[in-house]
Structure 1
Amino acid sequence: MIKNYFKIAFRTLLNHKAFSFINIIGLAIGMTAFFLIFLYIKFELSYDSFHSKADRIYRVVSDIKTPTETINANCPSWAVASHAKQEFPEIESFVRVSNARLLVRKGNIKFQEENSLFADSSFFQVFDFKLLKGNPQTALKEKFSIILSQTAAKKYFGDTNPVGQTLSLTDRNLNAVVTGLMQDIPENSQIKADVLLSMPTLTNEFNKGLDDQWGNYGNRTYLLLRPGTEPKVLEAKFPAFLERRNGKEMKQSQMYPTLFLEPLREVYLYSTRDGSKTGNITNVYIFIIVAVFILLIACFNFVNLTTARSAERAKEVGIRKVVGAARLQLAKQFIGESIIICLIAFAVSILFSSLLLPLFNQLSGKVISRHIFSHLLYPFLLFLIAISIGILAGIYPALILSSFQPIVVLKGRFTTGTKGLLMRKGLVIIQFTVSIALIISTIIVYNQMNYMRSQDLGFNKDHKLIIDTDGDSSKSAFKQAITSLAGVTSTAMAGSVPGGGNAGAYSQIENVKGDMQVANLDLYFVDFDYIPQYKLKILAGRAFSRDFQTDTSQAMIVNEAAMKMFGYTLPKQIIGKKFDQWGRKGVIVGVVKDFHFRSLQEVIKPLSIRIEPNFCNLVSININSKNIPSTIAAIENKWKELMPNRPFSYYFLDDFFDKQYRSEDRFGRLFLNFAVFAIFISCLGLLGLASYSTTQRTKEIGIRKVMGASVPNILNLLSKEFLKLVTLAFFVAAPIAWYFMHKWLQNFAYHTTINWWVFVAAGFCALAIALATISFQAIKAALANPVKSLRTE
Structure 2
Amino acid sequence: MLKNYLKIAFRNLWKHKVFSFLNVMGLTVGMSACFLIFMYVSFELSYDAFHTKGDRIYRLVTDIKTPSETINTSVTSWAFAPAIKADFPEVEAVTRVSSGSFLVRKGDIKFQEDKTLFADSTLFKVFDFKMIAGDPKTALKDQLSIVLPQKTAKKYFGDADPIGQTLLLSGDGLPAKVTGVIEDIPENSQIKGEMIVSMVSMTQRFNKGLDDQWGNFGAITYLLLKPGTSATALEKKLPAFLQNRAGKTMKESQMYYKLFLEPMRDVYLHSTRDSEERGSMNNVYIFSAVAVFILLIACINFINLTTARSVERAKEVGVRKVVGARKSLLATQFIAESVLLCLIAFVFSVVLSAVVAPLFNDLAGKTVTTGIFGNVAFLPVMFLAAVLIGVLAGSYPAVVLSSFEPVVVLKGRFTTSVKGILLRKGLVTLQFAISIALIIATIIVYTQMNFMRNRDLGFNKEQMVIVNTEGDPNKESFRQSLMNLAGVKSTSASSSVPGSGNPGAYSEIENKSGDLQIANLDLYFVDFDYIPNFGLKMVAGRPFSREFGTDTTQAMVMNEAAVKLFGYSSPEQAIGRRFRQWGREGKIVGVIKDFHFRSLQETIKPLTMRIEPNGTQLVAVKVEGSKVRGVLAAMEDKWKSVIPNRPFSYYFLDEFFDRQYRAEERFEKLFFNFAVLAIFISCLGLLGLASYSTMQRTKEIGVRKVMGASVGSIVGLLSRDFLKLVVLAFVIASPIAYYGMNKWLQSFAYRTDIYLWIFAVAAGLSFAIAFLTVSFQSIKAALMNPVKSLRSE
Normalised by the length of structure 1, the TM-score is 1.00
Give 1:311-350 correspondences, 5 Å limit. 311-350=311-350
Give 1:628-647 correspondences, 5 Å limit. 628-647=628-647
Query: May I ask how many residue pairs the two structures share in their alignment?
Result: 793
Give 1:92-103 correspondences, 5 Å limit. 92-103=92-103
Give 1:642-657 correspondences, 5 Å limit. 642-657=642-657
Supply the AA of the counterpart residue of 1:686: L
Report what 1:310 is aligned to.
310
Report what 2:43 is aligned to.
43
1:762 and 2:739 matched = no
Report what 2:297 is aligned to.
297
Residue deviations 1:593-612, cap 9 Å, x none?
Answer: 00001111100000111001
Q: Secondary structure at the match of 1:312?
A: helix
Supply the AA of the counterpart residue of 1:581: Q
CA distance in 2, matches of 1:377, 1:156: 36
Q: Would you say the 8 A contact 2:126–2:224 is kept in 1?
A: yes
Give 1:716-755 correspondences, 5 Å limit. 716-755=716-755
Report what 2:414 is aligned to.
414
1:250 and 2:240 matched = no
Q: Would you say the 8 A contact 2:47–2:190 is kept in 1?
A: yes
Supply the AA of the counterpart residue of 2:357: L
1:576 and 2:576 matched = yes
Q: Would you say the 8 A contact 1:74–1:276 is kept in 2?
A: no
Give 1:688-703 correspondences, 5 Å limit. 688-703=688-703
Q: Would you say the 8 A contact 1:354–1:371 is kept in 2?
A: yes
Report what 1:604 is aligned to.
604
Pairwise CA distance, 1:454:
1.1
CA distance in 1, matches of 2:687, 2:536: 58
Q: Secondary structure at the match of 1:152?
A: helix
Report what 2:787 is aligned to.
787
Moved beyond 4 Å, runs of 4+: none
CA distance in 1, matches of 2:311, 2:485: 81
CA distance in 2, matches of 1:41, 1:62: 30
Report what 1:24 is aligned to.
24
Give 1:404-553 correspondences, 5 Å limit. 404-553=404-553
Percent identity between matched residues is: 64
Report what 2:371 is aligned to.
371
Residue deviations 1:89-134, cap 9 Å, x none?
Answer: 1110011000010110001100000111000001111100111100
Report what 1:188 is aligned to.
188
CA distance in 1, matches of 2:565, 2:730: 47
Residue deviations 1:281-302, cap 9 Å, x none?
Answer: 0000000000001000000011
Give 1:158-237 correspondences, 5 Å limit. 158-237=158-237
Pairwise CA distance, 1:275:
3.4
Of residues 260-269 and 149-158 in structure 1, the stretch that sits farther from structure 2 once superposed is 149-158
1:69 and 2:73 matched = no
CA distance in 2, matches of 1:660, 1:163: 38
Q: Would you say the 8 A contact 2:171–2:645 is kept in 1?
A: yes
Pairwise CA distance, 1:627:
2.2
Residue deviations 1:157-186, cap 9 Å, x none?
Answer: 111111110010000110000001111100
CA distance in 2, matches of 1:577, 1:778: 78
Pairwise CA distance, 1:41:
0.2
Q: Secondary structure at the match of 1:458?
A: coil
Q: Secondary structure at the match of 1:626?
A: helix
Report what 2:362 is aligned to.
362
Q: Would you say the 8 A contact 2:690–2:774 is kept in 1?
A: yes
CA distance in 1, matches of 2:489, 2:681: 55
Residue deviations 1:10-39, cap 9 Å, x none?
Answer: 000110100100010001000011000000
Q: Would you say the 8 A contact 1:268–1:276 is kept in 2?
A: no
Q: Secondary structure at the match of 2:257?
A: strand
Supply the AA of the counterpart residue of 2:66: T
CA RMSD of aligned residues (A): 0.7
Give 1:637-716 correspondences, 5 Å limit. 637-716=637-716
Q: Would you say the 8 A contact 1:267–1:276 is kept in 2?
A: no
Pairwise CA distance, 1:370:
0.8
CA distance in 1, matches of 2:594, 2:750: 14
Residue deviations 1:710-760, cap 9 Å, x none?
Answer: 000100110000000011100110100000000000000000000000000
Supply the AA of the counterpart residue of 1:23: N
CA distance in 2, matches of 1:74, 1:276: 10
CA distance in 2, matches of 1:212, 1:234: 22
Q: Secondary structure at the match of 2:758?
A: helix
Report what 2:554 is aligned to.
554
CA distance in 2, matches of 1:96, 1:537: 41
Pairwise CA distance, 1:277:
5.8
Report what 1:592 is aligned to.
592
Q: Secondary structure at the match of 1:774?
A: helix
Q: Would you say the 8 A contact 1:271–1:277 is kept in 2?
A: no
Report what 1:106 is aligned to.
106
CA distance in 2, matches of 1:731, 1:462: 44
Pairwise CA distance, 1:276:
5.0
Q: Would you say the 8 A contact 2:190–2:277 is kept in 1?
A: no
Q: Would you say the 8 A contact 2:117–2:193 is kept in 1?
A: yes
Residue deviations 1:49-92, cap 9 Å, x none?
Answer: 00000000000001111111000000111100110100001110
Q: Would you say the 8 A contact 1:293–1:434 is kept in 2?
A: yes
CA distance in 2, matches of 1:652, 1:99: 23
CA distance in 1, matches of 2:127, 2:446: 39
Pairwise CA distance, 1:274:
2.2
Q: Would you say the 8 A contact 1:79–1:210 is kept in 2?
A: yes
Q: Would you say the 8 A contact 2:353–2:371 is kept in 1?
A: no
CA distance in 2, matches of 1:594, 1:627: 31
Change (3 A) 1:59 1:66: same
Q: Secondary structure at the match of 1:674?
A: helix
CA distance in 2, matches of 1:413, 1:286: 47
Pairwise CA distance, 1:458:
0.7
- Structure 2's unaligned 5+ residue stretches are none
CA distance in 2, matches of 1:327, 1:721: 33
Residue deviations 1:222-251, cap 9 Å, x none?
Answer: 000001111111111111101001101101
Report what 2:148 is aligned to.
148
Of residues 152-161 and 269-278 in structure 1, the stretch that sits farther from structure 2 once superposed is 269-278
Report what 2:268 is aligned to.
268
1:57 and 2:57 matched = yes
Q: Secondary structure at the match of 2:285?
A: helix
CA distance in 1, matches of 2:26, 2:448: 32
Q: Would you say the 8 A contact 1:498–1:596 is kept in 2?
A: yes
Q: Would you say the 8 A contact 1:560–1:571 is kept in 2?
A: yes
CA distance in 1, matches of 2:317, 2:50: 55
CA distance in 2, matches of 1:108, 1:772: 64
Q: Would you say the 8 A contact 1:120–1:198 is kept in 2?
A: yes
CA distance in 2, matches of 1:517, 1:366: 45
Q: Would you say the 8 A contact 2:354–2:373 is kept in 1?
A: no
Report what 2:90 is aligned to.
90
Pairwise CA distance, 1:567:
0.5
Supply the AA of the counterpart residue of 2:529: D
Supply the AA of the counterpart residue of 1:220: I
CA distance in 1, matches of 2:214, 2:247: 10
- Structure 1's unaligned 5+ residue stretches are none
Q: Secondary structure at the match of 1:704?
A: helix
Supply the AA of the counterpart residue of 1:467: V
CA distance in 2, matches of 1:627, 1:529: 22
Q: Secondary structure at the match of 2:68?
A: coil
Of residues 268-277 and 228-237 in structure 1, the stretch that sits farther from structure 2 once superposed is 268-277
Supply the AA of the counterpart residue of 2:662: R
Residue deviations 1:433-479, cap 9 Å, x none?
Answer: 01000000000001001101111111111111000111100001111
